[in-house]
Every structure is written in C-alpha cells, then in structure tokens.
Chains A and B, each alone.
Chain A
Amino acid sequence: MKFLSKYRRHKFAAPLLLMTALAALGFTYSVATAAPASNSMSASAKSTLISEGQTIFLKGCSSCHGLNSEGGAVAPSLIGVGAASVDFQVGTGRMPMQDMSQQAMRKAPLYNEEEVAALAAYVASLAPGPASLTNEEITWERDGNTADGGELFRNNCAMCHNFAGQGGALTQGKYAPTLMGVEPKHIYEALITGPQAMPVFSDKVVTPEEKLSIIKWIKAAESEPNLGGASLGRVGPVTEGLLIWTVGIGLLIGIAVWLTAKAR
C-alpha cells in the first residue's frame, strides 16, 4: 500500500486512473452484452432478412393487414406488435387465417421456420415490440416449479383454459384453445403478447420465472398418465354423465332384459 500512497499525487496518477476506469467500463460492457452480440447477425444479413420478410408479407399478409402493416377493416395494425406476436401467430399456423370466423385456430403452419423468422424480423423492424423467443431460451425444465405453476395456472389460466389445460368455450364462438402439445416458446409468447381473446400477462403481473413454472405445470399435465383409467377428455362431469347414461345404465338394462327373458 506504500506504493499507492507514495505516487497518489503523481502527475500521471489521474490520467492513469481515468484510463483504467474507462477500460474496466468498456470491458464490463462488452462482457455484459456478449451473449446477444454472438447471436446477432451482421447489419447486411439483417436487412436481407427484413426485406425477405417484407416480400412474404406483401404476398401473404398485406391483403388484410395493409401494404404498410397499418391494418384495415378486418385486421389490426401490426406496427409495434413485435416479433413475438408474429412467431406465435404464424408459427402456430393461426395466421394466415383459414376463414373469417370469430377466432383464428391453430393448424399446421403455412410458413417454415426461416420464413416465420423473416416475417418476424420485418414486423419487428416497423416499431419496437416484444422479441420472439426460441425453445432453448425457455428454460422451464431448469427454472420452473410445477407446484407453483399449478397455483399460478389455476389463478390465471384455468378459468378459460380448463383445470387441465384442455381449453374451454368463451362467448360468441370465441374459445380458449387446448394447451396440450403447444411448444414452450409459443406458450411464453402468448403470455407476453395476449393473442386473440387472451389478455397480456406482463412481467409485472406474472414474472418470467412464474411463466416458466406455468409452462412446467402445463408440460406436467400433458405428460401425466391417466391415473384413474380412461380420461374421458379431462373436461369434467359432462362426459362422466354421458358415459353413465349410455354404457352404464344401458348395460344394466340390457342385463335386466336378459335376466327376465323367457326361455325359448
């Protein structure tokens, strides 16, 4: 420490300190931003992707969403919806819509992954919005908690999607779809963008860790074997009643007829 106190009034001390601080700051910054930097592509590649996306958009989407994504009578504006929204809507096959019914339904996607990425990049370039995610980024297996997820699910999701994530009816033909077989990134994107009739669950309402827990619970429900025998669809007592009035009482009446049949 004697060395430091001896030279602390040296004429180079202040510039040296400044240089060290700047270097440390720069180093910290470069380390902190290293992850996205390694993923990010060069500026020219990105603009190519955007223009590819624009080409797809003009062909497949603009007739409803407008040539500049400004929206129209039948479709909303896409300015500011972000890449997450595009990844969800197009990646699950909801967009382009099959028909003008109440709600876009999940179906086999029309565009492949690259095309979805290009579309997402194009829409994201219009105005900032939630970024799209990859399944690898959704670390539900590592960071989620099934029991917490169940609590959160019953608090926030079950009222529309049913207690086991099987989906349910909403008003005027709208519905909450089943959550079985949905990719984790799409569940996450749905939570942050609020597609169709679904509300947005911002990170303040449901934190990112909680979102991972919800996904973990959904995945647990999906892979849970039917512990009591045939599940009857996991939709509650309606199918149970149907079974008892067909198979149950039908079988018993059939046997009663057999028991009282006259010997021939």
Chain B
Amino acid sequence: MSARERVAGTVANYVDERTGAAAYLKKNLQKVFPDHWSFMLGEIALYSFVILLLSGTFLTFWFDPSMRTVVYEGSYQPLKEVEMSAAYASALHISFDVRGGLLMRQIHHWAALIFMAAIVVHLLRVFFTGAFRKPREFNWLLGIGLLTLGIVEGFLGYSLPDDLLSGTGLRIAQAIIQALPVVGTYISFFAFGGAFPGEVFIPRIYTAHILLIPGIFLALITVHLMLVWYQKHTQYPGPGRTEKNVVGYPLMPTYMAKAGGFFFIVFGVTAFLGAVASINPIWLYGPYTPGQVSAGSQPDWYMGWLDGLVRMAPPLETHAFGHTISWNILLPGLIIPGILFTGMALYPFIESWITGDKREHHLLDRPRNVPNRTALGAMALTFTLIALINGGNDIIATHFDLTINQIMWFSRIGIIVLPPLAFVITKRICLSLQRADRELVLHGKETGRLVMLPSGEFIEIHEELSEAKKYTLTQHEQPKAIELVTADAGGVLNPKGIRAKLQARFSAANAENIAKPTAAEVKELESGHH
C-alpha cells in the first residue's frame, strides 16, 4: 500500500466512522440502471435546470426588479435617454455593460427552452411506453406538476425584463385572468395591485420566479428522482428482463461517467447556442408601455399552443346579469387547457380502469403493441401541434406567402377534424406493425436471395430470427376485452350500469390487436421448414 493510499484510507475511515456512509454508498453506488437513449431525456431536463439555476443566479446579481422610472444612460445608443423601468434598464445593463452578461442571459433563455422541450419529449417517452402504469402513477402526476410549473416559471421569466414583448405577454395573461367569470377582475386587481400594469407586478413575479417556484421545483424534482430510485427504473422488454429485475449497468462507474459527461454536453450545447444565436433581443423591443405593441408578438414555444388557441377562438361573448363572459378568451385560455391537463393527469387511472389491470408494470410497452394508447397520444399531439402552428400564424403568413385568415380557418377546422383522423391512422399503423412483427416471427427476415429449385420454382430465402429477437417481439401480453355483465345469474342488474357498459366498450377497443404468434404456431412452422 502506497503512502497516498494509506492517507486516503485514513480519511475515508475517519468520515465513515462518523457518518456510516460506506455501507450506504456501497449499496447505492452499485444500483443498476438500464441503458437506452430514451431514458436520458429526463436527464436533459434535469441538467438544463441546473444550468438555469447557475445562470439565473448570475443574472440576479445585476437585475433590479423595480418599476421605478429611470432615464437610460447605458451604452446602447438607440435607447439613450429614453424613459424606462429600472427592471428594463438593468436588463439592458446586463446585456451591454456586464462582462459576459449577454452570454449569460442568452444561456439562461436557451436553457429554459431546452428545459421545457426536454420535459415534453420525456413525457412523450413515458406516455408512449406506458411507464406511467402502476406503481408510477404518482411520478406521472409529479411530472405533470413539473410541466405546468415550468410553463408558469418560463412565462414569468419572459415577463421580467419589462420590454415591449414581455409587457404584451403580461397584458394577454391579464386578459385571461379577467376572463374568469365574476372573480376575474378582482383577481386581476389583486395580482397587479390595481390597474394594469401598475408598479407592483414586476417585484412580485421576481420573487416567484427566483425563489418560490425554483424552490417548489427543487422539492418536486427531488421527490421525482427519489421515486425513480425507490421504484427502480423501467426497462424495455428483452431476454432476461423481467418484472422483477433490472438489467443494465451500475451507477458507479458507468452512469457516473455517462451522466456526468452528459451534463457537460448539455451545458456545452446550451452555451454554444447562447454564444452563436440571439434570443430575446430586448434592446430591439424597447421598453414596455401599454400603448405600444409590435407585430409578431409571440410567447415562447411552450406557451405558443395557448396563444394559438386564443388566436383561433371565434368572437363569442355573452352578457348576463350585468356580467360579460368572454368565451373567446375563457374557452381557449382556461377551459380547453384545463381539460387537456386534467385529462393528461388522470390518464394512468383512466387506462387502468379501462383495462382492469391493477398489477405492477416494470417492463415497458412497445408503442405498437398498445394501439389505442399510442393513437390517443398521436391525437393529443396533433391537437397541440395545430394550436402551436396557429400561434405563429402571422410569421407563417409572411414567410410562406399565405394569409392569416387561411391559416386561422385551417386551424379552426383542422383542430376538430385532424386529431380524430390522427387517431384512426395511428391505430391502423400500429396494427400494421403488429402484423409485420407476426410475419417476421413466423417467417423470418427476407434476405433478398432468390433460389431456383430443381423443379424450376423460385423461392426467396427467409432468414429465421434469433431466439432473443423472437422473444422480444412476442413477450408482451395482449389484453382481453372485459365481458359486459348486464345482469347476474339471478337476473339482478349490474349495479354499475352505464359505467360497466362504457368500460366494456373502451376495453373492447383497447383489446383490438393482431394476434401475436403462439408457441404452437412457431413450432409448427419450424417443423415444416426443416
């Protein structure tokens, strides 16, 4: 044992005797995680969150969250001596007069966009592979909470610099608050401390943006990860992988290296974007005053679908009992997003009710093997995508020589017609893929090699799949439809009534699958071939 090892050993022993860390670390550092690229999407979100905390802290050193009016005296000439809020002036100061300030601002903003995008792709992976099933429903709910919180946090950050764009966004947010029947105007007065924009809002959202919401974020992310740790990571099906084990590599050293390296890669990509691509050039927007607005005022992409819904809403209003209800804002701004997010949050429970499956699942589904769920996801995605496209309707109109009216009508009709179409098409594609899988297992891969038999007949050689591949393609369960019991043997009607009927109908749709090859079928073909 060298002198250095002896010293290290003494130190480690000293710490262990006082903390008992060795046993804990030994157990946890060996924890096994499965290896797949799609399991690293959530990591992108986690690492961008760390980047957001670091770059955000840097920005707080100079940002002045105040609506006090100042005269700009900084180094950006086109705004020289223009009256503006101290918040905007300090954001300009960070951009032009703090060393590395603009780079940090841009890294912060790009990291926010990556954070939200990573959350969404992570959510899609979890949804399409069925990773939300028992016992992971709570983690699904936590994820929905994080997504919602991310949208709010991002919007507050977008609103903070008090430039023309952020003020315009706040004005729309205020309009959505006011659209709430009865209480809307009160909530607006309460939030803004009076009439819009007032003096108190920027300091208030600053506290929320840098303290309250990041705090909640940290707590929720911790629980999210602790649950992953405790419940163990899901894995894709394959030989040797069961509901009771996890096949993969240990945390130390494999994932320490991979995840650690990935953090620096995410940081690198974000810093690269911050260095080469302009984001939110607040100096071009100018300071916010309620009398001004710019063409092409858009929210960041994660709010874009909401803006798109508001843009396509028909002008509906009702007047009753001295109150005006602005359906044109209430519907797209609150009701539809509310339905979407509630539906998304409840989906694990709805699915387990439909399938009647209350067992634990640690093996993931291949999306094609659950056609109904996959089709539903495609449907929701289509809906959101059309809304998002309509959110950029003016930019699309000017850049593709279209008219806003065409795009709006396309969106209005498309958002009703296209999602169901997406459902049907996706389901058909899934079933086709199941058919292809069945074909592959039973008849093997087409090799493209043609052989002429002595009799003159041509046949193509099919290469049999490996046992492992066959197992992977056939290991899944195919759900059976729940039988509808309208009345028991004694003629007593089912007390669940309509609920039982609904469950049976959904369950029948869910059970629509191409029968996977049975062992008997495989055996029969094999004996035939050889």
Residues of A within 8 A of B (CB): 102, 146-147, 150-151, 154-155, 158-164, 166-173, 175-176, 217, 220-221, 224, 226-232, 234-241, 243-245, 247-249, 251-253, 255-257, 259-260
Measured CB to CB, the closest approach of chain B to A171, in angstroms, equals 6
A151–B291 CA distance with the chains assembled, in angstroms? 11
Q: Give A102 to B402 CA distance when docked, in angstroms.
A: 11
Evaluate contact between A240 and B300: CB separation under 8 angstroms.
Answer: yes
Given A230-B277, A251-B269, A260-B37; A163-B404 close (CB under 8 Å)? no
Contact among A150, A163, A238 for B395, CB-based, below 8 A? A238
Least CB distance, A97 to chain B, in whole angstroms: 16
Chain A neighbourhood of B304, CB < 8 A: 237-238, 241
A159 touches B293 (CB 8 A): yes
Q: How far is the CB of B266 from chain A (nearest CB, A)?
A: 6
Whether A155 touches B298, Cβ cut-off 8 Å, given contacts A150-B79, A260-B36, is: no
Contact yes or no, A162 B37, CB < 8 A: no
**Closest CB-CB distance, B484 to chain A, in whole Å?**
44
Q: For residue B282, give the distance in angstroms from its CB to the closest CB of chain A.
A: 10
A-B contact list, 16 entries, CB within 8 Å: A102-B403, A168-B294, A170-B404, A173-B404, A217-B78, A224-B78, A228-B102, A229-B278, A238-B296, A238-B304, A244-B117, A248-B114, A248-B269, A249-B114, A253-B121, A260-B39
Contact B301 A162 (CB under 8 A): no
Minimum Cβ distance to chain A for residue B181 (Å): 30
Q: With A154-B286, A171-B404, A249-B114 as known contacts, state yes or no: A240 contacts B78, CB within 8 Å.
A: no
- Asked if B82 is an interface residue, CB under 8 A from chain A, the answer is yes
Per-residue CB proximity of B70-111 to A under 8 Å, as 1/0? 000000011111100000000000011000001000100010
- Give Cα A167 to B295, complex, Å: 8
- Interface set, chain B 151-179, CB cutoff 8 A to A: 164-165
Other A-B contacts than A173-B405, A228-B279, A236-B294, 13 sampled, CB-CB below 8 A, are A150-B82, A151-B82, A159-B293, A164-B281, A168-B398, A169-B404, A173-B402, A228-B278, A244-B301, A248-B110, A248-B117, A252-B44, A252-B118
Given contacts A245-B117, A252-B118, contact A172 B280 (CB under 8 A): no
Closest to B302 in A: A241
Of the residues A163, A239, A257, contact of B286 by C-beta under 8 Å:
A163
Chain A at the B interface: SS class: helix
With A172-B405, A173-B403, A241-B304 known to touch, is A249 a contact of B299 (CB < 8 Å)? no
A232 pairs with B395, CB closer than 8 A: no
With A244-B113, A244-B117, A255-B265 as contacts: A161 and B295 at CB distance below 8 Å: yes
Q: Are A241's CB and B281's CB within 8 A?
A: no
Which of B82, B301, B403 sits near A240, CB closer than 8 Å?
B301
In the assembled complex, the CB of A155 is this many whole angstroms from the nearest CB of chain B, namely 6
Among B37, B78, B265, B392, contact of A221 (Cβ-Cβ < 8 Å): B78
Q: Which residues 387-423 of B have a CB within 8 angstroms of A?
A: 391-395, 397-398, 402-406
Residues of B within 8 A of A221 (CB): 78, 284
Are A237 and B300 neighbours in the complex by a CB distance under 8 Å? yes
A248 touches B284 (CB 8 A): no
Q: Which residue of B lies closest to A262 (CB)?
A: B35
Contact status B261-A259, CB under 8 Å? yes
**Residues of chain A lying within 8 A (CB to CB) of residue B296:** 162-163, 166, 168, 235-236, 238
Find the A residue at minimum CB distance from B113.
Answer: A244
* Whole-angstrom CA separation of A166 from B44 in the bound complex: 34
Chain A residues contacting B78 (CB-CB under 8 Å) are 146-147, 150, 217, 220-221, 224
Complex CA–CA separation, A249 to B344 (angstroms): 23
Q: Which residues of B contact A172 (CB under 8 A)?
A: 403-405
Q: Tell me if B347 is interfacial: C-beta within 8 Å of chain A.
A: no
Query: Quick one: which of A164, A226, A248, A251 has the most chain B CB within 10 A?
Result: A248
Which residues of chain B (258-304) have a CB below 8 Å from chain A?
Answer: 258, 261-262, 265-266, 269, 273, 275-281, 283-286, 289, 291-301, 304
Q: Is the CB of B37 within 8 A of A256?
A: yes
A256 x B40 contact (CB < 8 A): yes
- Chain A residues with CB under 8 Å of B114's CB are 244, 248-249, 252
